[in-house]
Amino acid sequence: MTSFRTHRLRVHDGSRTPRQRFAALRTCLTEFAPYGFRATYHHLCRSAGIPVEPERDPQALVRAVRELHAARELWLAEYAGWRADRAAQKAAGVRIPDPPEPPRRLWCPDPEFHPVEPLPAVMPRILRARPGAWARCPVCEADLGTTRYRDGHHVHRLCAGCGVSLGHRAATPGPDRAALAARAERWKLVWQRRG
């Protein structure tokens, strides 16, 4: 199994083809994706300006991995402090961590609806967002006006300002097949950076 660090270095490696470097970026996303894989992928493609053909702007891949790496470094610093505190708690016999492990993401189920600010600007807010009932959105701090997003068998409540999931409930009727097919087609365009 390879690491985020290994693949980050591959993105920076100019001796590799742009396609290989792009594949390395996608592997980095499997290791760290603050909005979930799909939404973080869409965010980086937009923020870094990754073209349909990576050969046209290989530096876009570098911009994307730098943004992702900067957010990950913030999380790692928070996690290192938490681990030290947790070790002391374990030594004292505390079985349940207090506070819980720092969150590494707030999920955005709609891949095209996520915060637009750079990841390093949003990551501190993600780290402060502890599970529970929020009075305001933990990311954009907007009043919790919500919108709904259905994926398969769940209906998600999303922050109307930034798309962060505020929870979900199981949907009672079967999934809308036409809507799911349209969403799958839309994701295909996002994946190819055509949408």
The beta strand positions in the chain, using DSSP E, are 146-151, 154-159, 165-170
Distances from the Cα of 98 to the Cα of 85, 135, 143, 174, angstroms: 9, 22, 28, 40
pLDDT in tens, 34-59: 999 999 999 999 999 999 999 999 99
* pLDDT beyond 70 at 122: yes
* pLDDT beyond 80 at 161: yes
Q: Could you give the CA distance from residue 67 to residue 45 in angstroms, rounded to a whole number?
A: 11
Tell me what pLDDT residue 138 has: 85
Radius of gyration of the chain from its Cα atoms, rounded to whole angstroms: 18
Split into its structural domains, the chain has a count of 1
The percentage of residues in the chain with a pLDDT greater than 70, rounded to a whole number, is: 91
What pLDDT band is residue 2 in, cutting at 50, 70 and 90? low
CB 163 within 8 A of CB 110: yes
Q: What is the largest CA-CA distance in the chain?
A: 56
What pLDDT band is residue 175 in, cutting at 50, 70 and 90? low
Closest listed residue to residue 40, CA positions, set 126, 161, 102, 100? 126
CB 79 within 8 A of CB 32: no
* pLDDT beyond 80 at 131: no
pLDDT in tens, 82-121: 888 889 999 999 888 888 887 778 889 899 999 999 999 9
SS3 58: helix
Q: Could you give the CA distance from residue 21 to residue 147 in angstroms, rounded to a whole number?
A: 36
SS3 96: coil
Full domain range(s) for residue 150 = 4-191
